[in-house]
Amino acid sequence: MLVIVAPGQGAQTPGFLTPWLEDPTFASRFDWLSTVAGIDLAHYGTEADAETIRRTEIAQPLLVATGLIAALDLFPHPSDAFQRVSAVAGHSVGEIAAAAGARVITAEQAMVLVRERGNAMAAAAAQTPTGMTAVLGGDREEVLAAITAQGLTPANDNGPGQIVAAGTLDQLAAFADAPPAKARLMPLSVAGAFHTEHMAPAVGRLASLARSVSVHDPRTAVISNRDGQVVHSGREVLARIVGQIAAPVRWDLCMDAMLDLGVTGILEMPPAGTLTGIAKRAMKGVETFALKTPDQLDDARAFVDKHGERSVIETTPTWRMVVSPGKGTFHRSEEAASSDSLPPGCLIGEVASTRDTTPIVALHGGDVVEWLVEDGDIVSPGQPLVRLHPQGGGH
């Protein structure tokens, strides 16, 4: 089972795009997305220095455009991807690339959203001196307690031994003076406290734009940063991308979901290395492939062939399938159990895990063709629960 992941801000390095732009097809596609974003991304990916491409409003569109065009090189016929990719996920801004890869939004919509996201987050960061510090090692509970004690936010939870604290520079200074035991602190070269309350102004800007974005339900499972759940509604994917700007990235829960899905291979889109590095430490036994340069494409395709299998979501039209967002025990609702026809927005039940209980809603409604699980069954992320036929529609 294959999962494709897209990295977040900080993965970019000076000149990383140079070998990719030697391919005229890649270069022309990249020029198109640069035009949509209104930024000369080719310049920033080949000639600009590290300090320049660190800027939020440049780094974010640069990363998303690179991931999208590299995916077209990996899968020249995009429909092939849906037959071999079981799930997608992106770290922070990488979620926009993942959403476009799953066909929730178009590449052009992705570039407009990421351009405005980068600008809005840069503006929010300029309001108050804020930053982020990686906390490496230490006891997890002690690290979280120390972060909270200084009024900071655990903005990125990247799995065992890697949590990122974010907040004002004064809070981070106090944190540095009283670090958690057996932990090493590493200040990050970022413009502000991303994924915290300090980014709230940017959420408003993106929420306003998102209301006018047309979406489609994903063609493959999308694993959300917010809680590691598999999201099967295009509108919900977009809403989570907006809210995630000021909410922590739970990459640890994303990796848990991948393991629950039964992933055997993780392929990271360029500029790759960060997420596969985390996976090597946290997901023992799962093979990884970091796609960094175009001369790796043939090996990457072989990796896809080795691990790829058809997405459960893609095998049946999404408008008549309701799937589980995560691992747990399924409990059917009384309304769903007693009716053969479910109205839009009907609660069909809930999935209970040791961590939480998640309600499951049939967004589009429909006539029940068959239940694919029984009350009390153990279900996995993305597992189909009920097959629905749209009311008044054709097959």
Angle at the Cα of 95 from the Cα atoms of 87 and 57, rounded to 5 degrees: 155
DSSP 8-state secondary structure symbol assigned to residue 164: E
User: Can you tell me the distance from the alpha carbon of 80 to that of 350, in angstroms, rounded to the nearest whole number?
Assistant: 33
How many C-beta atoms lie closer than 10 Å to residue 16's C-beta? Answer: 19
Nearest Cα to Cα of residue 75 among 21, 6, 16, 4: 4
Dihedral (CA of 74, 79, 83, 86) sign: positive
Are the C-beta atoms of residues 252 and 283 closer than 8 Å to each other?
A: no
Residue 7: helix, strand or coil by DSSP? Answer: coil
92 is catalytic: yes
- Cα gap 231→233, rounded to integer Å: 6
Catalytic residue list contains 195? yes
- Are 157 and 202 in contact, with CB atoms under 8 Å apart? no
Tell me whether the omega of the peptide bond preceding residue 271 falls within 30 degrees of 0, making it cis. yes
What is residue 212's three-state secondary structure?
coil
Q: Which residues contact 212 (CB under 8 A, 6 or more apart)?
A: none
- 4 touches 275 (CB < 8 A): no
Catalytic residue among 34, 86, 91, 195: 195
Count Cβ atoms below 10 Å from residue 106 Cβ, excluding itself.
16
Of 34, 86, 92, 311, which residue is the catalytic one? 92
The residues that are catalytic are 92, 195
